């Protein structure tokens, strides 16, 4: 497959290595807004760019008939608009806040645990995410997806950075060193604590998941998720 990379930073470079090992060709490396883009050469685009540039990159791909795998976080206030443009152009799209198999299993575990805790008022939930200091957005996209999983399955109604309160999930965002991504969720009562945690050792899992998603979407049109790709629940 011919892959166009939008964003050639830490993730773009890792995806290049994994895609080439799986027999794909990288036909474009777009790393800023000024580069000319030959959409015709691409079977699929993979966007790991910046919160400011992702929406434009993705929707230009749809308008040029290129399906998109997007892992960029921090732009989701425009997700519905992107979906509309995808559908108008009969395009293909997968956004995931986290492409790793482990985190997608963790999303399922989080939802199951939330269901079990839903009526236990003595437990209060909280979340923590730790990432490297270059990360531009907070909380992480993964933490937001986890919070949404809790909100779907419990009386909690919203999440907020740091702040707890009635029906609010507090999320603590820590930025330190080179941490690739650690997420934990705790339910705490006066007598004990239940905690689940996912810790990425490196970025390979994210990159492999994105390449697998790009192989999966070939020839399809529509809006999909990693649940479809991984056949989860
Ligand atoms: N969904 C997932 O599994 C994962 C998502 N991410 C997300 O992916 C994004 C990128 O992460 P990293 O590679 O670590 O960041 P990075 O900062 O290393 O790379 C981003 C690259 O985008 C480039 N860029 C700037 N403007 C651009 C434009 N208009 N078009 C294309 N590229 C442009 C920058 O020059 C930079 O090289 C972040 O939003 C991060 O949160 C990161 C890891 C996993
Ligand atoms: O910026 C990162 O590095 C990561 N971003 C994603 C997120 O915001 O959840 C996924 C992963 O945690 C790494």
Task: Please name which ligand lies nearest the alpha carbon of 74.
Answer: 1
* ipTM, 2 dp: 0.99
Ligand 1 centre and the CA of 49: distance in Å?
Answer: 3
Indicate if 24 belongs to the active site: no
Per-residue model confidence (pLDDT) at position 7: 98
Please give the residue range of the domain that contains residue 126: 101-199
Claim to verify: residue 64 and residue 111 sit in the same structural domain: no
Ligand 2 centre and the CA of 143: distance in Å?
Answer: 9
Q: Is 141 within any annotated ligand binding site? A: yes
Per annotation, catalytic residue among 24, 131, 183, 198: 131
- Compute the distance between CA of residue 195 and CA of residue 173 in angstroms, rounded to an integer: 17
Claim to verify: residue 191 and residue 209 sit in the same structural domain: no
CATH of the domain at 50: 3.40.50.720
Claim to verify: residue 187 and residue 105 sit in the same structural domain: yes
CB-side neighbour CA atoms (13 Å) of 211 = 24
Which residue, among 16, 44, 43, 47, has the nearest Cα to 31 in the 3D structure? 47
Claim to verify: residue 142 and residue 114 sit in the same structural domain: yes
Per-residue model confidence (pLDDT) at position 160: 95
Residue ranges of the chain with per-residue pLDDT less than 70: none
* 3-state SS, residue 9: coil
Claim to verify: residue 185 and residue 216 sit in the same structural domain: no
Per-residue model confidence (pLDDT) at position 165: 77
Q: How many domains does the chain contain in total?
A: 2
Claim to verify: residue 54 and residue 118 sit in the same structural domain: no
205 DSSP 8-state letter: H
Indicate if 201 belongs to the active site: no
Claim to verify: residue 89 and residue 125 sit in the same structural domain: no
Per-residue model confidence (pLDDT) at position 180: 98
Claim to verify: residue 15 and residue 83 sit in the same structural domain: yes
pTM exceeds 0.90 for this model = yes
Substitution candidate for ligand 2 out of 12, 14, 73 with most atoms within 8 A of CB: 73
Which ligand 2 atom sits nearest the alpha carbon of residue 183?
12
CATH of the domain at 165: 3.30.360.10
Claim to verify: residue 60 and residue 129 sit in the same structural domain: no
* Contact (CB, 8 A) for 229 and 213: yes
Which string of DSSP letters, residue by residue, matches 54-65? Answer: HHHHHHHHHHTT
Per annotation, catalytic residue among 10, 124, 135, 172: 135
Claim to verify: residue 93 and residue 132 sit in the same structural domain: no
Claim to verify: residue 147 and residue 210 sit in the same structural domain: no
Per-residue model confidence (pLDDT) at position 166: 83
Claim to verify: residue 165 and residue 92 sit in the same structural domain: no
């Amino acid at each position: 497959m011919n892959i166009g990379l939008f964003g050639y930073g830490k993730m773009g470079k890792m995806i290049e290595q994994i895609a080439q090992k799986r027999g794909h060709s990288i036909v474009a490396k777009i790393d800023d807004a000024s580069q000319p883009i030959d959409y015709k050469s691409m079977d699929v685009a993979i966007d790991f760019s910046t919160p400011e540039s992702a929406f434009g990159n993705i929707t230009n791909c749809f308008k040029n008939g290129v399906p998109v795998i997007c892992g960029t976080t921090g732009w989701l206030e425009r997700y519905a608009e992107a979906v509309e443009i995808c559908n108008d152009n009969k395009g293909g799209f997968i956004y995931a806040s986290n492409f790793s198999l482990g985190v997608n299993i963790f999303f399922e575990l989080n939802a199951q645990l939330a269901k079990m805790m839903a009526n236990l008022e003595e437990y209060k939930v909280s979340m923590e995410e730790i990432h490297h200091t270059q990360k531009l957005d907070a909380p992480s996209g993964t933490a937001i997806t986890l919070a949404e999983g809790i909100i779907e399955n419990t009386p909690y109604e919203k999440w907020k950075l740091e702040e707890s309160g009635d029906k609010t999930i507090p999320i603590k965002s820590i930025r330190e060193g080179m941490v690739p991504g650690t997420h934990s969720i705790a339910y705490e009562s006066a007598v004990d604590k239940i905690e689940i945690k996912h810790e990425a050792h490196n970025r390979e899992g994210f990159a492999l998941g994105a390449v697998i998603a790009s192989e999966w979407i070939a020839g399809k049109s529509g809006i999909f998720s990693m649940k479809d790709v991984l056949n989860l629940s």
